[in-house]
Amino acid sequence: MPGQDDWDPVLKRAVEVAQAGFPAAYRCCFRRERLFRYCHFLRNGAKPSFNIVGSWQDQDIIEEIALWKRVRDKCFDDGAAIDTLMAVLEERYGHSWQETVALGSNPELANRHMPVWDVGTESLLPQQIGECFIESVFDYTAQSERRDYGYAYRNDDTGECTDLYLYEGNVPAIPDGVGDYIVSHEIHVALEGAILMAERRGVEIHDMTRPVLETVRSPAGSRWDLASVAWSAKYPDGRQLRTSLGLTGFRGGLAKTRRSMDMDFAASEAGARSVANGNSDLADYFFLFR
């Protein structure tokens, strides 16, 4: 994919102005087209040769500018604009949104180490976080009585484990990032839960940090703020792990990350590289589907 610096600057500015007229519709349909594109790949074994919303090729940008003009002439609000754009996406990709969601959110995709769609946040989970590949999906909705899904990432060679949880908070419409008080509250709740679970399992906790603000970044320029805490743990079977917990507002709810690795690996150059790559992947995921 060409970088933004490769775009015709006049076209780039024109499409940004057009998108800004209906910002909520643009973000919604941009996210949803990522799933349309992914499901096109699943069905056809190749990426589509076109893009409709959030285009980066000059010809696609020209067509997107014309599309936004039609939207502006026809629609009075973001809701109507979303309906209009979704009709275009469904026609161009040849499948309804319902069919697309059903295909992209199938947990079997994760079992095959493939990205999977999270319906609640309308986001496409990455294939890997750092050196860990996605391998399973967990639905905790029945237990928590709220939208609550977990995604497990593993690396059997190094023993690394990363879990990403996407769930509703105790208040509606939580802002992105760490600005809302609920994020500070929730990380303390999550930490207390982790400590209680460790005590029940006979796990010794050492070297726990205080909750701090952490900004994860990627080489592509994505960045995202999380509240984070870390600790070392010694298990009854002799394992010693370094674990970090991160929490942030995401798509109106909460996202929680838990990452564990062997202490010796955590202290190595390879471990540090894995952590950095994982932070980059998280930054790109949160920023892309914000």
Task: Encode pLDDT of 160-169 as tens digits.
Answer: 999 999 999 8
pLDDT value for 169:
81
Nearest Cα residue to 110 out of 91, 137, 147, 129:
137
- What is the mean predicted confidence (pLDDT) over 113-133? 97
- The span from the CA of 25 to the CA of 86, in Å, is 10
Contact 240, 234 (CB under 8 A): yes
pLDDT score of 2 more than 70: no
Q: State what percent of residues in the chain have pLDDT above 70.
A: 98
User: Is 90 exceeded by the pLDDT of residue 4?
Assistant: no
pLDDT over 50 (residue 200): yes
Helix (H, G, I), strand (E, B), or coil: what is residue 178? coil
Distance from C-alpha of 229 to C-alpha of 193, rounded to nearest angstrom? 13
Q: Which pLDDT tens digit goes with each residue over 135-154?
A: 999 999 998 888 899 999 99
Contact residues for 199 (Cβ-Cβ < 8 A; gap 6+): none
The stretch 227-254 carries a mean pLDDT of 95
- 265: which residues sit within 8 A by CB, 6+ positions away? 158, 159, 160, 271
> Do the Cβ atoms of 100 and 93 come closer than 8 Å?
yes
Predicted pLDDT of residue 120: 94
- The b/e string for 100-115 (b: 16+ C-beta within 10 A; e otherwise) is bbebbbbeebbeeebb
Summarised one tens digit per residue, pLDDT across range 83-104 is 999 999 999 999 999 999 999 9
pLDDT, averaged across the chain: 94
pLDDT at res. 1:
44
Say if residue 3's pLDDT is above 80. Answer: no
Residue 83 main-chain phi, psi, to 5 deg: -60, -45
CB 127 within 8 A of CB 113: yes
Which CATH number is associated with domain 106-288?
3.40.1000.10
Percent of the chain's residues with pLDDT above 90? 87
pTM: 0.92
pLDDT, tens digit, for every residue of 16-27?
999 999 999 999
Supply φ then ψ for residue 7, to 5 degrees.
-70, 150
3-class secondary-structure state, position 235: coil
Residues 6+ apart with CB under 8 A from 213: 178, 225, 226, 227, 228
User: Is pLDDT of 170 > 80?
Assistant: no
Is pLDDT above 80 for 67?
Answer: yes
**Domain residue ranges of the chain, discontinuous segments joined by +:** 4-102, 106-288
Per-residue confidence (pLDDT) for residue 6, from 0 to 100: 59
Residue type, 268: S
The pLDDT of 67-75, averaged and rounded, is 96
Integer Cα distance of 62 and 70 in angstroms: 13
